[in-house]
Structure 1
Amino acid sequence: MTRADRPILPPVRLPDEAELAREALTSPLLSRAAQLAHWAESGVRVGAGGELLDADLVRAVAQLGLSDDEDGPAATAEAWCFAVDTGLMEIEEDEGVDSDGVPDDGETAVGTARAGEELALLDGGTPSDVLEIWAGGLDAVLADAATPSFESLLSGMEGAVDDAGEIDPNSIDLDALDWDPEEEGEFLDTVLANLYMLTAGDTDVAEGAMVPLPVVAASLVVPDDMREPTDEVLEEVSTVMMRLDEQFRVLTGTGLLEYDPVDDALITMEGEPEAPPLPDEEEDLTRYGQVRLTTLGLYGVRERMLGAGLQVPTVGDLSGEKAEVLLLALTDLPEPAAQAEATAWIAAREPRDAALELLDAARGDDPLAPGRRLTAQLALSVLGPEGEPALRGVLDDRHLGGLARVWLTERGAADVPPPSEELIFWLTVDTLAAQLDNEDPAGLRELVSGLSAQHSSFFEHAWQVDHPATTDVLEAVGRLHPDESLAKEARAAAERARSRTTD
């Protein structure tokens, strides 16, 4: 397995389908949609667009217990649409009625809504059935969230209203809408993917912390290599933030995410909506909105990414793989995710067998071997005392003696022989070699900076270390060490090491 074969995203821990299905059933939209579908089992008359008539809307609001909520009618209408979109309800048009010619006045019935086939699956099907129904509704809500607001649409309707006040669809200026449905859908998928990566890669977010909305917006707008965003970029971040605020409000009812909206006081200026300026460092970020994916949301976004052909692992996916595959994969994961993956892998084996397989996979002089040894140390830390015989058995092994000593010492084991000076230098080179191709050089720079404090005569001996990466490591030290005199020593040592290997 090469580095290019490794998963791109950190694995997420998901509960079983039964728990996810319970979350889906309690999400506001699906639970209300199910109530309305049962309420409509004997048939409810509907208008030209399948919507509830005014009188029945009042009864449906009461059915959901939302009569005292000023947003009750809107929430009920959303749940009704969700029920139709998911197949929990089906609309039968009256025979001989052309619904295109019926006025949408909230009073004219042209069909009947009844419980659909999916309602029985929701009530008595498998967890997979429930999740499939929920996912179908999510697709419809995501499409709605990617559609411009009515106010935005009005800007493209100038000249489309005739003398009688009717809108002529053929006169709507679609170009003026500045709306590309495909582009808007891709934008929203990118937003959800960014939230997914934040949740998978950040321990605090994975444990329930909210992500400030300005952070999400900046991740979509600010280039990775931009140190100080320009005023134009900051203005775009603010605009995107408001776009996300509108979309996240639509998505909350699906159970996909939890969202605290932007404080209305920040977006209203003399009664006119306006994107607020971004917060300064002293300001309370929670007023600018904060969001997080729920566990159900992680599942839903992961399913969408899988459908797009992406590799999206979950914790435990590697439990059936060989140790070498595990160790290579762990090198790209945040430590909590790596530890969870190692725990699942070891749990699938007898402890002694797991220890022996990990140690064997950590051997080698190939370029990826130092990284495997580093992650083997992390994976072995999960083992209990059952692993001690295997670790003691490799104390004299040049590749493994160092990590074995660390493991035994951390557990207070007796009779652990001290490492030789030769082994200390070899381990130092090996540890640095494991960091050489790290995309974030901060860890390597920190190790390099502490070299002189740990080994005052390191460069006098390091060039003689019998390790395939000795020259590369010394060259890296020469580039990164903050002390120029020591950096110069490192470069000289690298030259001596290169000459020794070419002689």
Structure 2
Amino acid sequence: MSSHHPEAPSHRRFAARPVSLLPTEELANRALSSRLMRTAIGLARWCGPVTPVDADGVPDLADVRVAIEKFGLWPRALCRDREQREIWTEQLDSVSQAEEFLATWRTAQHLGMIECETGQARPARELERWLGSTGRILRWWTLAFHLCVDRALRGTAGLEPHTALGRLYESPNGARIPLRLVTQEVLPARETHYLPSRCPAWSTVLLTRALVQLADAGAVSVGWHDPWHDPWSDTSGAHGHRPGPAWVQLTDLGRFGVRQILLAEEQSAPLTEEFIRLDADEFLDALADFSPDGQLVALTAWLDARAPQQALREIVAASSGAGLALRRWNATMALGSISSRIEPDLYALLRSADPTVSSLASVVLLASRMLSDAERARLTAEFGHWTAIDMFAAATCLGETGLKSFLVSEAAEGIDRLLLGDITRLWQPEHPDTREVLRVLGRHHPDPSIAARARAAEAHAPPRPRP
């Protein structure tokens, strides 16, 4: 399948949409206030001047009980029941059962807050000085976040971290996403094939538990419409009660943390202040890499940095010409968001002798709902066939899977019939991608009758003019 996507040397691919971050001092303050960091620092101070530890660097059971009481490191399900907490602590007969304590203790050790040698643990000698360093605090938190992500998403929920974190990162800042949507999008598809009917609900519980662990790191906020819901219990009680819908939101600190993960894997994760300086060609090409939510954020950021007429000039210059169908597709999306502010300019572009420019303007106007029925009919008759070819040419850039999805989408509904309803119009004027589009439609269109008409139109194409 051919590609109309420009691969100029300047084109950069982005792993994630552009983001804005808080100043490092504010991020460091939020890191220190997270439960995970607060407790890890507390344990480091608590073990001084020295605390005896075993060969694995873990305190004895008596000291662990003291730390659990001091820092509230009971199992989650017991946190609101004092009597049950006391019973659990008394019955604790192995440090291995104190999972909350162990996870935080190991984190503090891993970060270098606690030093263990010759059977004794003590606070790192430079601990208090380090706590005054913004850079050190953020490095600590980033490493702790990486550990938490691996433990929570891989260990608890059985998910690849990028699946869940990518969904949250792409959402607009401050967006509260219903947990049911996150569950539907990130849980492995294989669950629906062989697990019992109760397992999807149980998977939601596991995902919720993982998100609560990330909330301890300060990376996400999780909320319930039912204030009494316990995320560490089953989704239904003894009487079949189900909690209200939950939501999850990536915090500013979490956005910083996910970006650090992307950068550590040498993925491109632009900052908004860098992204808005991109030239129009790079900006339009980048839109193809983002999710729908990411596209919305990227569009808003880039367009807000320019006057509407300036944005129009830059976008038209970058998207006109042969071989740029996908870029024009993204251009119509960008210009559509400011169409009411550039309406006269769009009408002026309709008179352009370049069909890539005039058809671009017609698509934006047709999508704007600013036209009368008569104007819509006129533009459709004048530019409809050329624009339809351009749209299908752009869709071929999405790969076979993306093309097939487009062919059954609402965006493509009726366009294929318009295109093939009057074969003579296909060549007046001829779009440079007409023949390729007919070949692709004939091979991949899900409607056999339309596929056959596309093959017939391709077979009766007029001879190419000699250069």
* TM-score using structure 2 length: 0.70
Within 2, Cα distance between the matches of 1:37 and 1:300?
23
Q: 1:215 to 1:454 in 2, by over 3 A?
A: closer
How far 1:218 sits from its partner (Å)? 1.9
Larger radius of gyration: 1
Taking CA–CA contacts closer than 8 Å with sequence separation of 6 or more, which of the two structures ends up with the larger relative contact order?
A: 2
How far 1:350 sits from its partner (Å)? 3.7
2:22 corresponds, among 12, 16, 21, to 16
Correspondence 1:475 to 2:439: yes
How far 1:131 sits from its partner (Å)? 2.0
Within 1, Cα distance between the matches of 2:289 and 2:64?
53
Within 1, Cα distance between the matches of 2:375 and 2:412?
28
How far 1:16 sits from its partner (Å)? 2.0
Within 2, Cα distance between the matches of 1:8 and 1:432?
24
Within 2, Cα distance between the matches of 1:84 and 1:2?
47
- What pairs up with 1:90-101 in 2 under 5 angstroms? 90-91=115-116, 93=117, 98-99=118-119
- What pairs up with 1:298-447 in 2 under 5 angstroms? 298-313=255-270, 317-366=274-323, 369-383=324-338, 387-388=342-343, 390-397=345-352, 398-407=355-364, 410=368, 412=370, 418-419=378-379, 421-438=381-398, 439-440=401-402, 441-446=404-409
Is the contact between residue 11 and residue 312 of structure 1 (CA under 8 Å) also seen in structure 2?
A: yes
- What pairs up with 1:82-231 in 2 under 5 angstroms? 82-91=107-116, 93=117, 98-99=118-119, 111=120, 113-114=122-123, 116-122=125-131, 124-126=132-134, 128-141=135-148, 191-200=160-169, 207-210=176-179, 216-218=186-188, 229=193, 231=194
Is the contact between residue 44 and residue 108 of structure 2 (CA under 8 Å) also seen in structure 1?
A: yes
Q: 1:265 to 1:480 in 2, by over 3 A?
A: closer
> Structure 2: 5+ residue runs without aligned partners?
1-5, 75-81, 90-97, 223-229
Is the contact between residue 256 and residue 297 of structure 1 (CA under 8 Å) also seen in structure 2?
A: yes
Within 1, Cα distance between the matches of 2:99 and 2:357?
65
Is the contact between residue 316 and residue 345 of structure 1 (CA under 8 Å) also seen in structure 2?
A: no
Is the contact between residue 280 and residue 314 of structure 2 (CA under 8 Å) also seen in structure 1?
A: yes
How far 1:191 sits from its partner (Å)? 0.8
2:7 corresponds, among 2, 9, 13, to 2
- Deviation track 1:297-347 (CA, whole Å, cap 9, x = no partner) reads 454343233212233445565322211111112123333321211221223
- Residue 113 of structure 1 aligns to a residue whose secondary structure is strand
- Residue 497 of structure 1 aligns to a residue whose secondary structure is coil
Q: Which residue of structure 1 aligns with residue 424 of structure 2?
A: 460
- Residue 387 of structure 2 aligns to a residue whose secondary structure is helix
Within 2, Cα distance between the matches of 1:308 and 1:59?
40
Is the contact between residue 359 and residue 386 of structure 2 (CA under 8 Å) also seen in structure 1?
A: no
- Residue 177 of structure 2 aligns to a residue whose secondary structure is coil
Is the contact between residue 448 and residue 481 of structure 1 (CA under 8 Å) also seen in structure 2?
A: no
How far 1:470 sits from its partner (Å)? 1.0
Q: 1:483 to 1:421 in 2, by over 3 A?
A: same
Q: Please identify, of 351-360 and 207-216, the stretch whose mean Cα deviation from structure 2 is larger.
A: 207-216
Q: 1:62 to 1:488 in 2, by over 3 A?
A: closer
- Deviation track 1:383-424 (CA, whole Å, cap 9, x = no partner) reads 376545643442212222233245456374899895384433
> Structure 1: 5+ residue runs without aligned partners?
100-110, 147-183, 223-227, 267-282
Is the contact between residue 463 and residue 471 of structure 1 (CA under 8 Å) also seen in structure 2?
A: no
2:37 corresponds, among 30, 43, 52, to 30
Q: 1:452 to 1:328 in 2, by over 3 A?
A: closer
Is the contact between residue 430 and residue 467 of structure 1 (CA under 8 Å) also seen in structure 2?
A: yes
How far 1:145 sits from its partner (Å)? 7.0
Q: 1:216 to 1:290 in 2, by over 3 A?
A: farther
Correspondence 1:43 to 2:71: no
How far 1:195 sits from its partner (Å)? 1.6
Within 1, Cα distance between the matches of 2:147 and 2:380?
66
Is the contact between residue 478 and residue 490 of structure 1 (CA under 8 Å) also seen in structure 2?
A: yes
1:467 partner letter? H
* TM-score using structure 1 length: 0.65
Within 2, Cα distance between the matches of 1:383 and 1:413?
15
Q: 1:82 to 1:454 in 2, by over 3 A?
A: same
Is the contact between residue 370 and residue 433 of structure 1 (CA under 8 Å) also seen in structure 2?
A: yes
Within 2, Cα distance between the matches of 1:209 and 1:239?
17
Q: Which residue of structure 2 aligns with residue 79 of structure 1?
A: 104
Q: 1:137 to 1:490 in 2, by over 3 A?
A: closer
How far 1:36 sits from its partner (Å)? 3.8
Q: Which residue of structure 2 aligns with residue 160 of structure 1?
A: none
Within 2, Cα distance between the matches of 1:191 and 1:482?
33
Is the contact between residue 451 and residue 458 of structure 1 (CA under 8 Å) also seen in structure 2?
A: no
Q: Which residue of structure 2 aligns with residue 278 of structure 1?
A: none
Q: How many residues are treated as equivalent by the alignment?
A: 422
1:82 partner letter? T
CA-based RMSD: 4.9
1:494 corresponds, among 451, 458, 466, to 458
- Deviation track 1:331-375 (CA, whole Å, cap 9, x = no partner) reads 233333212112212233343322211111110112xx1111111
- What pairs up with 1:284-299 in 2 under 5 angstroms? 296-299=253-256
- What pairs up with 1:258-297 in 2 under 5 angstroms? 296-297=253-254
Within 1, Cα distance between the matches of 2:406 and 2:241?
32
Within 1, Cα distance between the matches of 2:209 and 2:115?
29
What's the % identity of the aligned pairs? 26
